[in-house]
Structure 1
Amino acid sequence: MYTVRKKYRPYISPFDPCKPMVIKTYETPPQLYLGFQPYNLPQFQPHEALRLGTLWPALYAPYTNPYEDCDRGDD
């Protein structure tokens, strides 16, 4: 099973003046993992498809903020 959100550990310099982020994340679009569009994919209803931005649930990937829950370290 693929995941839309990927993680990586960037290089942290010993001379970095800021507190480093040890893990960074990014998102990849779901169409990268589909290959080709098969026949008879399930579809959203038209009003829901307009709201979500795609007709097919397989291509829907809502953006989630990865930093929403973490402690920012602001005192």
Structure 2
Amino acid sequence: MHTLRKYYHPYISPFDPCPPIKVKGYETPPNLYMGFQPPSLPQFEPKKALAYGTLWPALYSPYPSPPVRKEVNE
């Protein structure tokens, strides 16, 4: 199973004037994990497809709000 949200740890310079963000995240689209479109792929009903922006549930990817950053005093 692939996750749509990926995380990485950027380089933190000792000379950076701003407080660092130690872990950053980004979203990947679901079509990265699907080679060719399989036949007989399930479809949303037309009204629901317009609301979701895609006809196929396998390609639907909601954009959740980013996780809240916790401030840590070090």
Asked if TM exceeds 0.5, the reply is yes
In 2, the alpha carbon distance for the partners of 1:41 and 1:15 equals 52
Map of 1:70 onto structure 2: 69
Task: List aligned pairs for 1:54-65, cutoff 5 A.
Answer: 54-65=54-65
Counterpart code for 2:69: C
Instruction: Please give the root-mean-square deviation of Cα atoms over the aligned residues, in Å.
Output: 1.4
Residue equivalent to 2:45 = 45
Shift of 1:19: 0.5
Q: Give the TM-score normalised by structure 1.
A: 0.88
Counting aligned pairs with the same residue, the percent is 62
2:23 pairs with 1:7: no
Stretch moving more, 11-20 or 58-67: 58-67
Identify unmatched segments of 5+ residues in structure 1: none
Instruction: Name 2:31's counterpart in structure 1.
Output: 31
Aligned length: 72
CA distance in 2, matches of 1:16, 1:60: 38
